[in-house]
Every structure is written in C-alpha cells, then in structure tokens.
A = this chain, B = another copy of it.
Amino acid sequence: MSGSVFGKNIAVSTWGESHGKALGVVIDGFPAGMELEEADIQKYLDRRKPGTSAATTTRKEDDQVEILSGIFEGKTTGTPISLLVKNTSQRSADYSEISAYYRPGHADFGFDQKYGFRDYRGGGRSSGRETIGRVASGALCLKLLSQMGIEVCAYTKAIGDVEIDYSKFDKNAIYSTPTAMPDADADKKAMDLIMKCREETDSIGGIIEVRITGVPAGIGEPVFDKLDASFAKAIMSIGAVKAVEIGDGTKVARYKGSENNDEFSISEEGNVIKNTNHSGGILGGMSDGSEIILRAYVKPTPSIAREQSTVNRSGEKISINIKGRHDPVVVPRAVVVVESMCAITLLDLMISNMSSRADYITSFYTDRK
C-alpha cells in the first residue's frame, strides 16, 4: 500500500534512501503562477543540512536541489513539480556491519518483518534524509502561505531539561543558533548539554514548538480531517516524534472547564477574538482565528556510540557498538521539517475550505463569465 504520498489537494510523493543515487519529491496539484526558483527551496534545505555546528553530525551533505519539472518562465505551471537532491558524500562502507542486526530504537526489525529484507545503508528509507522531500515541498507551501499573510514559525523549545525563556524570545536566533532556539542564552546551555551527551557517547531529546499566525477562522474539516488531527498525523509522521499536542495539550487533562474555556470578545477593530488561547487556535477541528500553537516531542537519537545489547538476524543475542557520524540530538535539524509538514497540511486544508459553501463555487464560476 502506498504510504509515501501525503495530501489530498496537493499530493506530495517523496522518494529516496540515505545511500541511493538521489532523493526527491514530486509535488502534484500545486497551483500555477507562483514564482519559484531553486533558491526558494535551497534556503529551507540549508536549515536541515548537517555539519553546520557541533550539535550535528560531522557528515557533509551538500543537498543541492534541482528543479526537474513543473516550472516555466520562472513560475509554477500547475503540473507536477519534480525536485531532486543528489546523494554525494555517502560512505556505504560505514554501514555494512549493521546489515546483520537490529539497532535498538531503529526501524530495522520492522523493515525486515514487513518486507523480508532492507536497504541497511544509513537506514535506507528510514533515514532522516527522507525528510529532504518534505522540506522541499514545505518551501513551496510556505511561500504561498506567506503571500496570504500566514507565517508558520517552528523553533526548538527545549533540549533535555533546558527550556527557552519566552521573555528572551528573539526570532532571528532561530536561524542563527546551532540549536534553532529563539533564546541565545538557552541555546548556550543546550549546547553545553549536547556536548556533554556527545562526550558520554549519548544523545538527548527535545521539544519543537510551532506558531502559525494569520490563519482565518474555519480552516479544517469538522470530523476526521480536523485541522489538529491533520497536524497530528503530519508531525507524528516525522521520524523521532513520540507526542503531539495542540495549545495547552497534555495539561488540559487536569484543567477544569472554567480554566480551559477561552472566552470570546471583540477587538477594537470589531473582530471576534479570544481573551485567552488555551485551545491553541483550534476548536472543534477548525481554526478559531487565534494563533495556532503546536508542539512535537522528539526522542533522542537512537544511534549512540556505546555498547548496547541486541539480536542479529540469526536470532542470537549480541553486543554492538554503532559507529558512524550521528547527530547527538535531532531536534535542531527537525525544526524545519516540522515547519514544512505544518505548511503542507495547512495549505491543503485551506484549499479544501474553498468549496465549503455553495456560493463560493457558484460565484467562482459565474463572476468570471
């Protein structure tokens, strides 16, 4: 069953393995007429590129995107956009050993059980490199969303027990700190923690937060394709994410109704607003006009350079020590992936919403005649 295609109106079909010839994506259904050049995409890919700081693997991956189709005279044509990134620095030799056993915390065992064998080089399809196609697609959606005044902003909220201080929130820091934290002080502490983990041949988890502004009320479909449900799937489909929450999230389990309800009010401009935002901008599966707030909880990198017990394909218990160049924390590089998945999801549901009323459809066709 196809499981690498995402989206209803815009269908994002990613492909590629860690050590194959290339990775990429086909984006079908993206609307015509948006200006697009490779640089629009490259800047997002650069945010997930490793080797830029001590927080990441020392592997060098250039990840230069190439547009193969769907653009003419600098604009999207409405037909499928094919994007490709060549694999250049893969060293398959590093991974030959892992073919024989199941790495703890990895998908190896599942792949073997499902498919009978697996491309074990660098994790194959389960590698984080799979997200290249997501980020490239996200770049397009983010550009179109921004033309509607919608901003999707993801950042690192925490690494281990180091959390950002919102009073020091500096958006620029997201793009300049190695941790993608919007708080330079927290970034420094987090880097200390990361360095300590690396020394101890260990890794660490963290939290990614997303804030989306400018979304009109009513986006999302009321039952199964709720906005929050769709975000949940999109975000949980990213490799290391183990929990997703909207607004006050897990905390609501202890709330009383009087604490959790956001009262509606009227802004000075006469718009319906909410006095608080426990809901995280989503009520009944539809945007409520407030800022949308989501969080992804990310597990520590499972590849750690210390002895672990496991079993091999022959069913024997063995002791292993995974070599290779691994990120001590995946959070900073995953920030742009979360941002991308949110953008694809949101744009897809905004398109769905365009046919929510009969008069939207009739006026679309009759006004143009």
Nearest CB in chain B to that of A308: its residue? B263
Nearest CB in chain B to that of A32: its residue? B115
Shortest distance between the CB of A15 and any CB in chain B (Å): 4
Across the interface, A116 reaches (CB within 8 A) one of B32, B119, B144, namely B32
Nearest CB in chain B to that of A17: its residue? B69
Task: Report the bound CA distance from A230 to B153 in whole Å.
Answer: 24
> With A2-B10, A222-B125, A284-B107 in contact, is A148–B365 under 8 Å at CB?
yes
Residues from chain B with Cβ under 8 Å of A22 in the complex:
68-69, 82
Across the interface, A265 reaches (CB within 8 A) one of B1, B9, B70, B311, namely B311
Nearest CB in chain B to that of A24: its residue? B82
Instruction: Report the copy number of this chain in the oligomer.
Output: 4
Nearest CB in chain B to that of A348: its residue? B1
Across the interface, A216 reaches (CB within 8 A) one of B81, B315, B368, namely B368
- Beyond A17-B77, A260-B299, A266-B316, 18 additional contacts (C-beta under 8 Å) are A1-B9, A5-B11, A9-B355, A11-B13, A21-B67, A77-B115, A107-B283, A111-B218, A158-B253, A223-B237, A229-B234, A232-B244, A233-B233, A236-B244, A242-B248, A249-B297, A253-B298, A354-B361
B1 touching A352 by the CB < 8 A rule?
yes
Task: Report the bound CA distance from A128 to B258 in whole Å.
Answer: 20
Task: Report the bound CA distance from A26 to B224 in whole Å.
Answer: 14
Residues from chain B with Cβ under 8 Å of A245 in the complex:
242-244, 250, 297
Across the interface, A5 reaches (CB within 8 A) one of B13, B114, B317, B368, namely B13
Task: Report the bound CA distance from A342 to B118 in whole Å.
Answer: 28
Shortest distance between the CB of A283 and any CB in chain B (Å): 5
A31 touching B119 by the CB < 8 A rule?
no
Across the interface, A106 reaches (CB within 8 A) one of B23, B284, B297, namely B284
> With A20-B68, A229-B233, A260-B300 in contact, is A80–B358 under 8 Å at CB?
no
A178 close to chain B: CB less than 8 A: no
B229 touching A236 by the CB < 8 A rule?
yes
A202 close to chain B: CB less than 8 A: yes
Residues 237-289 of A at the B interface (beta carbon under 8 Å):
237, 239, 242-266, 270, 272, 275, 279-280, 283-289
> With A232-B244, A243-B246 in contact, is A113–B299 under 8 Å at CB?
no
Residues from chain B with Cβ under 8 Å of A256 in the complex:
160, 197, 200, 202-205, 300
